Amino acid sequence: MNMAQVELFSDRVGPIDEYQQGRPIPGQAYDSTGRVSRSIRMFRLRASIPLTNGIGTFPDDFAYYDAASFRYWTGDCTETSDKPGVKKHIPINEVFEQGWANMVSSTINYPTTRFPIFKFWGQNEIEVSPDTIQRINFVYLRYPKDIYWGRTFANNTYTHDPTDPLNQDPEWDDMETYSIIAKALKLAGMSEENDKLYQMAKDMGDKL
């Protein structure tokens, strides 16, 4: 089941090998239709990431980057003051290593608080330029939680144990859960070379 739901999640988000700079989420499915966007809405989260010298740590459950921004105040307006000014939400654009090197060394396109940039760094860090930015809003997708149904064994029969504290039902809506079941049956049919099982799963998938 978990292999099947990971496959579905990848289908709904889009293949990572289609990742392109300036398009955070691969373009096959995510946000391409209302249905797809709604089907993975429970996996879309927002985090406020503090920065030290432009460096911050992204969330432990991070799977895919979606968007980043920070709040910018003009005039005398600040986060804690009531002085006149305008608060703006400024998008932060992701760049890759070569683009980062070119921009931070440029005298024309150097990053500013009006046009900031960031890159992923190391295992779990991001770096933002200019490094005067102290906090960013980070929107991302997490992976679905592993499906688990506890069970007991008695009289040569497995029975579901609803009291198992590790129980985790699928987080998807009913239609997508059916898709997971169809994929799981298909995978089982492939691994066991069961033609009837494979065909039943394919028929289920074609109807979804």
- DSSP assignment of 23-64 equals BSS-TTSTTTSHHHHHHTGGGEEEEEEE-BTTEEE--TTEEE
Q: What's residue 14's pLDDT?
A: 72
Sequence spans of domains, the chain: 20-33+44-142
Strand partners, 57: 125
The dihedrals phi and psi of 13, each to the nearest 5 degrees, come to -80, -45
The stretch 174-182 carries a mean pLDDT of 85
Please say if the pLDDT value at position 4 is more than 80.
Answer: yes
The Cα–Cα gap between 150 and 159 comes to 8
For 52-95, what is each residue's pLDDT tens digit?
Answer: 999 999 899 898 888 999 987 765 544 555 555 567 788 999 99
Supply 168's token pair.
Answer: 């985790």
Please say if the pLDDT value at position 42 is more than 70.
Answer: yes
Supply 63's token pair.
Answer: 């799977």
- On the CB side of 150, CA atoms within 13 Å amount to 8
**Could you tell me if 121 and 98 are in contact, meaning their C-beta atoms sit under 8 angstroms apart?**
no
Burial label, 33 (beta-carbon count in 10 A; 0-12, 13-18, 19+): exposed
